[in-house]
Structure 1
Amino acid sequence: ILEEDVHREITQFAMSLVEDDEDEQERSVEDPSRRSERALWIVSCGLQAAEVKKSSLKDKNQCAGLYNSVLERVILPALGLPSFEIRELAVRAVSALCVLDSSGDTSRNLGSFFIQVCKHDSSRELRVIAIHTIVDILLSITSFDRFNDAQDGDGNGENLIQTLLETLMEASAYEEEELRTAAVEGVSKLLLSGRLEVSSEILSRLLLFLFETEAPPRLRQCLSVLFPTLVKMSADARVALEEATMFAVCACAKRTAKARKKQRKLNNATITALDENEPVSTSSPTLVLLYILELLSSGSRKDGIHGQLAMSLLNWILDYCAKEKCDEESEDIVKAIVKGLARIEFEGIESESVRKLQDALDIVLDTLDLNNKRHSKIQ
């Protein structure tokens, strides 16, 4: 690991490489792009070393001035060069600068740059780097409030943070596997670190990614760890997961109905019901509902959150019964709910609430004229 003085010396040397050379003969011998690449490589090494030694830097004000000088004289001019290698080094150097600057000034000035790279750059590698940098920026900001207050009163700080978060969520839906995986991993880090507020909208989207068989394995592995961890460490996450249940179940049912229609069109015939063990992208939403119930059961809290979820499920069925015409998608949801009710647990709730749920369930079963009432009976 380079010490502070060594880091300063090599950085200053790198800056000298891009200065005008009075020796015309020497200038003609060495390719300018090669000089820029060498300078950026040295800068990147120095910044990475400084990032590791960040806590031990003594004169932070002097270092901040040096970083700004490096940014203006070495890094920014290289961002517009056509060479991918040079642009990659420059983007990595800017990323390191954003993390090093604890004041947030560099992030405020260059945050929009990474948003543009993430959305519009032609290089997939640079877009992945931009996603990682957006996550690092959001993790490195010590206080979002102070970050916002440091603006000139125009609210750009708050808008920038919101835009960074929105860009990250948009990237999670990209078709490219590398981009989706990097974005989902970043969202998971922000959720677990508490930098991103847990919401039902975010959890429902991540749930669909988890059960999507076409999703990259690394993405699904990340989410398979995220959900159990999040539920155990946060009561708000359990409530948000409950609120996300019906949205996720309905979205899966819609995807199932769409898959059936596509298959019918291909076969030009009606297909049989899909196997329950098939992936959620082409199967019943039952697996999603059972997974959510299992997650909620694994939490340490015993205050009857399943009771609230059960009432929500039953109310959905009653609304379904009130419809004059029901489609195949709704029928799949009802089947999933009925099977999920058999897994409901009611430890820790009042007997009066259990009685109301029992009455509601009886009404639902009578209305649907189901024969498997004993399997869905609340114990």
Structure 2
Amino acid sequence: MDLFDDLPEPTQTSGPVPAELTARPQATKEEEEEEAAVEKRLKRKREDAECHADHKEERGGEEVKKVCKEGLPVLKGYVAARRGEREEMQDAHVLLPDMSVCLSALPGQVSCVSYFAVFDGHAGARASRFAAEHLHHNLAKKFPVENVDKLMKKCLLDTFRQTDEDFLRKASSQKPAWKDGSTATCVLVVDDMVYVANLGDSRAVLCRMEATGGADGQRRSLTLNLSKEHNPTIYEERMRIQRAGGTVRDGRVLGVLEVSRSIGDGQYKRIGVISSPDVRRLQLTANDRFIILACDGLFKVFSADEAVKFVLNVLQSPPSPLQEGSAEQRPRPTEEEEEEVRFEAACQQLASEAVRRGCADNVTVILLSIGF
């Protein structure tokens, strides 16, 4: 029996993006500054990559399995975070394109492991920061050494439980005890298999391109939801809370907590707020374009399909003068560098647009490009 809840067939389909749906307002000063910073970030990335390459040469034969096998996807992560109108930034995030640095050894048939995560804190930022610092290390300790696909769900369940227990132990030892909690949505990529584990209402969605079948060779985008939200208005979640002795008022646990699963929130654990994530898996294909991983601050003002269309529109826009170069004699960017600039811009603009649309919450967006 398969342990995983495999993703259902995609139900949302969108064709070529209509101009009236994707037109963006004139860039604000903040967006212009973000675009101006894009090349600086990319320059630093290139310099870091060169330093890492030099370091590998110095270490000689110590580097093993650092390059994915031919035909496997390469994921690159881009992140944008906005505080919104909140007094404190309570989100946290992790980007580990090469998680093998955390593993003692890669399983025999595995070539690449990547990890990306968003944590949306509430009642403080301590739970989200703790999860960002510790969850992937717990995952590395429990990572299967064989039968990866068969054992991965148990590994992720154990990892979330361990992280939650560790935080609750630390929280209860404080005077006064910490009341913080956090959602968690993690994307783990093992070669070409994606595992998504999530608690709460942060989400992950995939953009997959599909041929329309016409003679013009056009393709349409499919939006696949990779995660399941947990809030007390969902029947199964509400029933679990009520069986544990809790109540749901105004769509919240005890009229206070918006989510029904989380890391932390020790005061709600006895009334059915659990730390067991939903785990889903999906095999990536050459038609997959990107994954959006974001907290609910984004999805309060964007539907999943709208967010995918917004990113596609930025990726398909003509290069800005900044990308094309200036009067100064700068080397012409490569196709790969131009692609990185577009994804960086799409990520930053998506987060800024969420704030512009009136989201007062913290907004954190991770955009993962998928290349074969």
Specify the TM-score bucket, using the shorter chain as the normaliser: under 0.3
Q: Output the TM-score relative to the length of structure 2.
A: 0.24
* Higher strand residue share: 2
Q: Output the TM-score relative to the length of structure 1.
A: 0.23
Larger relative contact order (Cα-Cα within 8 Å, sequence gap ≥ 6): 2
* Higher helix residue share: 1
Larger radius of gyration: 1
